Amino acid sequence: AQSVTQPDIHITVSEGASLELRCNYSYGATPYLFWYVQSPGQGLQLLLKYFSGDTLVQGIKGFEAEFKRSQSSFNLRKPSVHWSDAAEYFCAVGPHNTDKLIFGTGTRLQVFP
């Protein structure tokens, strides 16, 4: 069955530190992969997506993610975190030939000054 795992429920980092949020998926082929962010009171906003081609994708707000087929992973990274990055981050897969997205449980990021 298709699924997404985000192993880290809650991560705390200092402002200016680097960040990596983990995402592993289970899917028979190469899925469409997404990272969404949700700030308090806001909807889910798309940070970046991977469909094919270059396995390192750049997104908004200085985020990037790398697709690693051998590890079934799509980890999100940012070299230097800002206090405004504090939010909930969701990894999702989009199976082919379907409308739906399959989400992970999310990782809550807390940023200390």
Partner 1 sequence: EPEVTQTPSHQVTQMGQEVILRCVPISNHLYFYWYRQILGQKVEFLVSFYNNEISEKSEIFDDQFSVERPDGSNFTLKIRSTKLEDSAMYFCASSEQTGSIYEQYFGPGTRLTVT
Of the pair 22, 49, the CB lying nearest partner 1 is at: 49
The answer to whether 4 contacts partner 1 (rule: CB under 8 A) is yes
- The correct pick among 102, 107, 109, 111 for binding partner 1 (CB under 8 A) is 102
Exposure string over 80-101, b if 16+ CB within 10 A, otherwise e: ebeeebbbbbbbbbbeeeeeee
The answer to whether 22 contacts partner 1 (rule: CB under 8 A) is no
Query: What is the widest separation between alpha-carbon atoms in the chain?
Result: 44
The answer to whether 104 contacts partner 1 (rule: CB under 8 A) is yes
4 touches 92 (CB < 8 A): yes
Q: In the bound complex, what is the minimum distance in angstroms from residue 102's beta carbon to partner 1?
A: 7
Q: Which of residues 41-100 bind partner 1 (CB under 8 A)?
A: 41-46, 49, 51, 90, 92, 94-100
* Structure tokens that stand for 112 in this block: 């200390």
Residues of the shown chain interacting with partner 1 in the complex, contacts defined by CB under 8 A: 4, 32, 36, 41-46, 49, 51, 90, 92, 94-106
